[in-house]
Structure 1
């Protein structure tokens, strides 16, 4: 667990040392030995704030310090902290601090300071996590794909499912399932070629299939991989609970790292009363062996 703490603090150090630059989320994630997609999700689940919001708060905290302790112009400060115009900087500054940059210079003005984040080891795990390990060869998933903004994912993805249900998509997917499908459910997969390196990703509503995708669908091919498969209570809330515990409890204490491959949310038929979260993993220290192009 100490090794995991050191990795996360290394990622934060990378971010803090480059707050005045255009940050490379992929490089920050390498410090944590996971993909940018997993790093952003892990950061959010652990801290309760998105990575983008943390960076925004830290930049505006430093900007407030400069306003109070230097004669720097608002225009120069806006450019220094990555804003395209003084107006954009003023809006962001006012939304966070509740006052304009000009008012922030006045003695007695109340401002907000967000200190840099540091990860520490804590003891968790009073409740059991039911999981199994699977070694699988290559397989394909086929389904509908929609581009989703990372920051809007928790709002947009439920809408994708609701629309799919109303339009009979599930029935179509069920018809192209592979025989002997070992997953047995409708799959939600956050996938793109960079595995989360961008601010957007492709969300696939899919099934395991041996067929070529129909004209309006796409496919994604998984290589042979080791999977950690977690039982989750029925419903989307159960999956989200397992995601949170995966990042905060299982990964820090296990002997595995998250592989550079998309995870699979496996929504089983309602009569099952449960769902599954499939996580591609590699033995700790070997994360670059899967999906890493370097």
Structure 2
């Protein structure tokens, strides 16, 4: 982190958040250093260092990460030709896109599309067993930002809450990153889906800039750890609710489902992401 006065650091965080928002909204637009520095009202000679000190990654790494994430969603949910998806991700050839996507996701785009979820249950027929763990959750306070719409696009809110926390020096120890999901995407229109991107904080942490304090209380939960790209999480939910829950004898508690991110796209490639899907249960 750059050595700056607290008020200056907070101002830097707000200005970087504007850039994060712009990048997410304009992945196919002008994302040059000069353009983004202008949005944040910084000199282009210094902005890349300020941005990296706040976010922990370079501008180029942010753009690459978001474009490849969008490409994964298009592979999983659309019939677009791979050549078109490669161009939208900023690659001049399918070969270059295949190398980049394979390096991040652990398999080429064609194989990823053919195998829409990296998660495979074990068992057969009606005897489907999931590696679900029932345990006690210790509870946590979160500083959260809301997200409305496609759950797969909540990364923008996580980038913003991360910049907010970094600007306040809240990374003295690695905090938990948790997403809270209030609606069923198979029942609620995509535009109306409600979720929140959260980062662990102390209960008395001062809040600002639209950040809200949430408390996930302690209690019994069912959890399942998914390894791989976030695109595979939808199948985890289907199996958890449709297969495991009816056979488990458990009842759902009066709290929304949440995801604990055991690592992040900044730390590891998508193929190595670990996400703990957590379903609150009645005690």
Question: Under TM normalisation by the shorter chain, which class is it?
Answer: 0.3 to 0.5
Structure 2 length-normalised TM? 0.43
Structure 1 length-normalised TM? 0.41
Question: Highest Rg: 1 or 2?
Answer: 1
